[in-house]
């Protein structure tokens, strides 16, 4: 899923969500060979360089994913209840965000 990563110094970059596991998010960022890692600390996402970051998920991308997934990627899941995180419990991104299209702190 494409996202905008905004750093507390005012810079930003587009990235692709690579992996979310517990309090660690990895994203592929153009021009960087390895995935960039962000860690959730005291309700704030922190970059490898120590800067606070927020993640934005463009609405068009989210809507495209929501429309494609049930019908094409997981046809047997259409109409099924919403899944939780693989590790159980609530999802870190869902818990720290009000909606799919808003900024995640």
Q: What angle do CA 9, 96, 75 make, to 5 degrees?
A: 115
pLDDT in tens, 66-99: 554 444 444 444 454 554 555 455 555 555 444 4
Task: Provide the phi-psi class of 52: left if phi over 0, else alpha when psi is between -120 and 50, else beta.
Answer: beta
What SS3 state is found at 96?
A: helix
Tell me how many domains the chain contains.
1
User: Is 105 among the domain residues?
Assistant: no
User: Is 104 among the domain residues?
Assistant: no
Q: Where in the sequence is the domain holding 45, given as residue range(s)? A: 2-74+85-96
Tokens 């153009």: give the residue.
30
pLDDT in tens, 20-62: 999 999 999 999 899 999 999 999 999 999 999 999 988 765 5
User: Is 70 among the domain residues?
Assistant: yes
User: Is 89 among the domain residues?
Assistant: yes
């Amino acid at each position: 899923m494409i996202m905008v990563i905004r750093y507390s110094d005012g810079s930003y970059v587009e990235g692709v969500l690579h992996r979310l596991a517990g309090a660690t998010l990895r994203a592929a960022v153009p021009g960087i060979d390895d995935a960039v890692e962000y860690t959730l600390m005291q309700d704030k996402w922190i970059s490898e360089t120590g800067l606070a970051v927020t993640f934005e998920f463009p609405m068009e991308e989210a809507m495209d994913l929501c429309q494609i997934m049930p019908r094409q990627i997981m046809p047997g899941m259409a109409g099924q209840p919403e899944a939780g995180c693989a590790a159980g419990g609530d999802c870190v991104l869902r818990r720290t965000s009000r909606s799919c299209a808003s900024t995640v702190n």
